[in-house]
Amino acid sequence: MRYVAVSALSHPGLLRERNEDSLVIGPWTLCATVTQSPQTLLFPIGTPLVIAVADGLGGHPGGEVASALVVRRLASTGPVLAGEDAVRDVLNACNRAVYEAAGGDAGGELAAMGTTVAGAVVRSGSLLVFNVGDSRVLKDGPDGLRQVSVDDSPPLEPGRRTTSIVTQCLGGTRTYRAVRPHVTVEPLAPGDRYLICTDGLTDPVPPDVLDEVMRERDDGRVAFELWKAAIEAGGPDNITLAVARVTDE
């Protein structure tokens, strides 16, 4: 039987007062939680399995509320996400749900809450990669890491590697704004490994360092070393990541 093994953790970093990131792996969620030791879960491949991170917008009150709302909805709908249209539908529903939750607090702290989301739905033989915002999904292949999600960010200024600006997210404004989720299909085979993470990892840690750490074969060790690299780079933001590998063992 074929399985997917997922090693994950979530941490506030060194500068943020709280963790506004959330994580979903199948029915299991971590919301505004602190973990320093990777948690590893094993699932048989068959029923669609969703693995995703959500990054509550920094500087917007209620970011952790928005990210938790999204991953809990993904956890409840994950088993029926069999196709691209189903993934787009649930992400659009998540967007509406964030606005509805914020609308109940008009003029209050939650009025403009929002979150990014990125993840994958594991199916037999293929993977549905999705995102809204700048959280990322990367594939670890023979030629190194390759980003398979699409950043919703403006063009970078000369000399800059990252930006904190997103061009679309779930929620994030006081009036409703529709989104256009990115959804693509990737083939899936034993040995394939993916990194799903918030920008608290990819902003401070350069791609060559990420690639070097991903060469380690122990997934739990990889997750820990990725977190450690973000901390050693200053830990300026919340750090949430999941390393997913397909295996026949």
Q: What is the CATH number of the domain that holds 113?
A: 3.60.40.10
Q: What is the pLDDT of residue 106?
A: 58
Q: What amino acid occupies position 154?
A: P
Residue span of the structural domain in which 211 resides: 3-152+167-247
Length, in residues, of the chain: 249
Q: What does the pLDDT look like over 170-191, one tens digit per residue?
A: 999 989 999 999 999 999 999 9
162 domain-assigned: no
Cβ atoms of 238 and 11 closer than 8 Å: yes
Closest CA to 244 of 147, 139, 141: 139
Query: What is the distance between the alpha carbons of residues 180 and 168, in angstroms, rounded to a whole number?
Result: 8
Domains in the chain, number: 1
Cβ atoms of 58 and 116 closer than 8 Å: no
Q: What does the pLDDT look like over 43-91, one tens digit per residue?
A: 999 999 999 999 999 766 799 999 999 999 999 999 999 999 999 999 9
DSSP class per residue in 188-213: --TT-EEEEE-HHHHTTS-HHHHHHH
160 domain-assigned: no
What is the DSSP-derived secondary structure letter of residue 80?
Answer: G
158 domain-assigned: no
Query: What is the distance between the alpha carbons of residues 209 and 162, in angstroms, rounded to a whole number?
Result: 15
pTM for the full predicted model: 0.95
29 domain-assigned: yes
Closest CA to 116 of 101, 134, 128: 134
Q: What is the pLDDT of residue 1?
A: 87
Query: What is the distance between the alpha carbons of residues 56 and 35, in angstroms, rounded to a whole number?
Result: 17
Q: Tell me the pLDDT band of 163, cut-offs 50, 70 and 90.
A: confident
CA 248 to chain centre: 25
110 domain-assigned: yes
The answer, yes or no, to whether residue 109 has pLDDT greater than 80, is no
The answer, yes or no, to whether residue 169 has pLDDT greater than 60, is yes
18 domain-assigned: yes
157 domain-assigned: no
Determine what percent of the chain is predicted with pLDDT higher than 70: 97
CA distances from 217 to 39, 123, 152, 191 (A): 16, 23, 31, 10
- For 157, list phi and psi in degrees, rounded to 5: -70, 155
112 domain-assigned: yes
- Looking at every residue in the chain, the average pLDDT score rounds to 93
Q: What is the pLDDT of residue 107?
A: 62
